[in-house]
């Protein structure tokens, strides 16, 4: 049975939440939560690692006990300890903790005082105004709960790109091994590298008589077969993800790939152009009357309607068609353009690898530089550093730079922006750094005006370099702060500082629209991973995906430059 890291991480995360609601030992709760984070950041499948005889207990935050549980899950697909806890605590409570403002403590009160055990029960309690009567809640909290439930009801279920990627890759490898199969590719929003994916559209070309359809529905992750035909089948996986498979003729492969990749708006716009040229575009090709004039490749399809090839990430009908018509499409940034990472953590705060290990991992990636940006003292939960500890780390960086060759370790800090707009550390220590990554971790619910002014006041500090994860959103978990991003970007331009595109799959913050806004304003961005382990440095690809969707070119990104050139840009004038 194929069990993905994300599935095990989800099980451990659910376990942590239910144990916390139970009031279990905090160390036990933290162990599961940390293990879930480790699993979510691994670049390799633990299933593969076990098959190769690797000892999982050597992974950060995975001791022998949890390593054994992971092995059992991989073998059976089940987590027995989680089932035991779910007999004692309703599993529906987990979903409640994912609503804004409802942590495990509040959910426990709702369960114990009102008998709320799922989303439906929460909605009934809020509508009957019983929640406001509970101590520590009130009418405003009750209304926020109703608002969150309303938003939830309107949103279709979508999966984070990083969670879908191993599922897609595994299914593709499975299909490629089927006799007679020639090409396999995932289209749709996945190919456009959207931050979330609703379902998977897989296209296949194969020889006549290939058993691809029969074998497709027999994949071990399939939970239900929705439909099965000769050229199209649909299944639901254990994760709930729907997967559609289409077998296409080689002569139509490019047309089908184009048709099932573009957003609806993009496809309609291109079809409109085709109609004006007396052409018809569909998944089978480009036709003039009954004669097929293109379709074997995507390039053929674009050429037939007078357009240069448009990269998949741009196919959203946001100006790319006019740019393709005029040959003004951007030369999009790629992972290979990136020269270093400007936001990573170590064991000095909440990272899981040492300063030296992180630097060595950056060197292995071919990076020229790596900025160490552990948390400042305000983030107590992450064991944030005061000035004394930070000075010790700066001295350690100096020693490491003398010892290590091939990569330069930069001195930085992720310094909190206080509600007053002041930074969490004094200018006397900040001026000793190569750069600062300035972040908001508290007061996320401030009004639009107050939040915007808070950030701009922080930018007035001459030691402010980069605004980290600017909106504070967590995909599928927490909405973005209410902040005037255009004003913030203009303020950054005027002051000579920058914004970050945080590549953590839970964040991808800035989003693609804000990346495009920054580009149009002439503001450069840093694509950084916010890595907490050496493996997390591989998240850079997700940040680059987002940057490409935002039309960013190498010159729009700070860390595509050599250290010599970057150093000049980091100096505020």
pLDDT digits (tens, 9 = 90+) for 112-166: 899 888 888 999 998 999 998 888 888 888 888 888 888 776 666 889 999 999 9
Residue 48 has pLDDT above 90, yes or no: no
> By the 8 A CB rule, do 186 and 200 touch?
yes
Q: What is the mean pLDDT of the chain?
A: 93
- Tokens standing for 433? 């750094």
Query: Residue 1: pLDDT band by 50, 70, 90 thresholds?
Result: low
Highest mean pLDDT: which range of 45-54, 154-163, 502-511: 502-511
Residue 426: the pLDDT is: 95
Residue 487 has pLDDT above 90, yes or no: yes
Element (H, E) at 222: strand 222-228
Per-residue b/e over 461-478, b at no fewer than 16 CB within 10 Å?
A: bebbbbbbbbbbbbbeeb
Stretch 262-289: mean pLDDT: 95
Closest CA to 369 of 567, 99, 85: 567
Q: What is the pLDDT of residues 72-87, one digit of tens each?
A: 999 888 899 998 988 8
State how far the Cα of 458 lies from the Cα of 439, in Å rounded to an integer. Answer: 10
For the sheet with 414-416, list strands across it.
414-416, 437-439, 466-467, 498-502, 525-528
Beta-strand relationship, 285-288 and 291-294: antiparallel
Residue 39 has pLDDT above 70, yes or no: yes
Residue 279 has pLDDT above 80, yes or no: yes
Residue 526 has pLDDT above 90, yes or no: yes
In whole angstroms, what separates CA 524 from the centre of its chain? 21
Closest CA to 363 of 313, 330, 328, 401: 401
Percent of the chain clearing pLDDT 90 (strictly above): 75
Q: What is the pLDDT of residues 182-222, one digit of tens each?
A: 999 999 999 999 999 999 999 999 999 999 999 999 999 99
Q: Is the dihedral of CA 151, 153, 155, 161 positive or negative?
A: positive
pTM of full prediction above 0.75 = yes
Query: Residue 568: pLDDT band by 50, 70, 90 thresholds?
Result: very high
Residue 153: the pLDDT is: 67
In whole angstroms, what separates CA 64 from the centre of its chain? 29
User: In terms of DSSP H, where are the helices of 23-103?
Assistant: 26-41, 46-51, 64-76, 80-88, 93-97
Residue 178: the pLDDT is: 97
Residue 573: the pLDDT is: 72
State how far the Cα of 94 lies from the Cα of 320, in Å rounded to an integer. Answer: 42
Residue 534 has pLDDT above 70, yes or no: yes
Question: How many C-beta neighbours within 10 Å does residue 106 have?
Answer: 20
Stretch 350-371: mean pLDDT: 96
φ/ψ of 248, rounded to 5, equals -120, 150
Residue 92: the pLDDT is: 84
> By the 8 A CB rule, do 513 and 316 touch?
no
Residue 156: the pLDDT is: 66
Residue where the block lists tokens 């959207």 = 194
Q: What is the pLDDT of residues 97-111, one digit of tens each?
A: 878 778 888 888 998
- Tokens standing for 22? 């139970």
Stretch 378-401: mean pLDDT: 94
Element (H, E) at 571: none
Residue 437 has pLDDT above 90, yes or no: yes
Stretch 473-487: mean pLDDT: 91
505 CB-near residues (< 8 Å, 6+ apart): 40, 160, 161, 162, 163, 475, 539, 542
Q: What is the largest CA-CA distance in the chain?
A: 77
End-to-end CA distance of the chain: 58
Q: What is the pLDDT of residues 319-357, one digit of tens each?
A: 999 999 999 999 999 999 999 999 999 999 999 899 999
Q: Give me the half-sphere count of Cα atoms (radius 13 Å) on the Cβ side of residue 385.
A: 26
Residue 177 has pLDDT above 90, yes or no: yes
Residue 458 has pLDDT above 90, yes or no: yes
Residue 393: the pLDDT is: 97
Three-class DSSP category at 410: strand
Residue 93: the pLDDT is: 86
State how far the Cα of 218 lies from the Cα of 241, in Å rounded to an integer. Answer: 16
> By the 8 A CB rule, do 196 and 164 touch?
no
Question: How many C-beta neighbours within 10 Å does residue 52 have?
Answer: 8
Q: Which domains does the chain have, with CATH numbers?
A: 5-154 (1.10.150.110), 159-247 (3.30.460.10), 252-325 (3.30.210.10), 335-570 (3.20.20.140)
State how far the Cα of 443 lies from the Cα of 455, in Å rounded to an integer. Answer: 12
Residue 185: the pLDDT is: 97
State how far the Cα of 217 lies from the Cα of 152, in Å rounded to an integer. Answer: 31
């Amino acid at each position: 049975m194929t069990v993905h890291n994300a599935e095990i991480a989800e099980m451990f995360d659910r376990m942590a939440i239910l144990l916390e609601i139970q009031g279990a030992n905090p160390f036990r709760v933290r162990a599961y939560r940390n293990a879930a984070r480790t699993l979510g950041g691994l670049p390799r499948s633990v299933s593969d690692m076990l098959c190769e005889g690797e000892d999982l207990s050597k992974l950060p935050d995975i001791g022998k006990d949890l390593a054994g549980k992971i092995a059992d899950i991989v073998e059976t697909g089940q987590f027995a300890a989680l089932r035991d806890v779910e007999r004692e605590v309703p599993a529906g409570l987990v979903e409640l903790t994912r609503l804004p403002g409802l942590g495990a403590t509040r959910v426990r009160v709702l369960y114990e005082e009102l008998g709320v055990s799922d989303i439906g029960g929460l909605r009934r309690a809020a509508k009957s105004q019983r929640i406001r009567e509970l101590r520590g809640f009130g009418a405003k909290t009750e209304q926020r709960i109703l608002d969150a439930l309303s938003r939830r009801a309107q949103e279709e279920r979508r999966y984070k790109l990083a969670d879908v990627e191993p599922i897609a890759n595994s299914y593709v490898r499975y299909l490629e091994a089927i006799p007679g199969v020639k090409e396999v590719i995932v289209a749709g929003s996945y190919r456009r590298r959207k931050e979330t994916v609703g379902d998977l559209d897989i296209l296949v070309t194969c020889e006549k008589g290939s058993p691809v359809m029969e074998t497709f529905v027999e994949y071990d992750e399939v939970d239900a077969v929705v439909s099965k035909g000769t050229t199209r089948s649909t299944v639901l996986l254990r994760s709930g993800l729907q997967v559609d498979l289409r077998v296409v003729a080689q002569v139509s492969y490019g047309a089908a790939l184009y048709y099932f990749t573009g957003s609806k708006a993009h496809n309609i716009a291109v079809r409109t152009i085709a109609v004006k040229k007396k052409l018809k575009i569909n998944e089978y090709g480009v036709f003039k009357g009954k004669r097929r004039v293109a379709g074997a490749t995507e390039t053929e399809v674009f050429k037939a309607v007078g357009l240069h090839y448009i990269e998949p990430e741009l196919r959203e009908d946001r100006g790319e068609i006019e740019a393709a018509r005029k040959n003004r499409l951007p030369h999009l940034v790629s992972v290979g353009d990136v020269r270093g990472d400007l936001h990573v953590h170590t064991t000095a705060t909440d990272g899981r690898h040492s300063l030296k290990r992180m630097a060595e991992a950056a060197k292995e990636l071919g990076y020229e530089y790596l900025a160490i940006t552990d948390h400042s003292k305000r983030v107590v939960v992450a064991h944030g550093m005061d000035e004394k500890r930070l000075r010790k780390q700066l001295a350690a960086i100096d020693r490491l730079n003398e010892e290590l060759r091939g990569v330069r370790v930069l001195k930085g800090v992720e310094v909190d922006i206080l509600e007053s707009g002041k930074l969490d550390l004094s200018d006397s220590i900040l001026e000793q750094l190569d750069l600062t990554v300035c972040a908001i971790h508290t007061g996320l619910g401030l009004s639009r005006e107050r939040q915007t002014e808070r950030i701009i006041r922080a930018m007035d500090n001459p030691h402010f370099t980069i605004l980290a994860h600017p909106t504070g959103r967590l995909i599928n978990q927490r909405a973005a702060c209410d902040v005037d991003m255009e004003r913030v970007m203009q303020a950054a331009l005027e002051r000579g500082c920058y914004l970050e595109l945080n590549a953590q799959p839970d964040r991808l913050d800035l989003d693609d629209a804000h990346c495009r806004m920054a580009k149009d304003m002439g503001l450069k961005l840093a694509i950084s991973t916010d890595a907490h382990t050496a493996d997390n440095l591989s998240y850079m690809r997700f940040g680059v995906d987002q940057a490409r969707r935002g039309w960013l070119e190498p010159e729009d990104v700070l860390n595509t430059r050599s250290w010599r050139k970057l150093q000049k840009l980091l100096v505020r004038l």
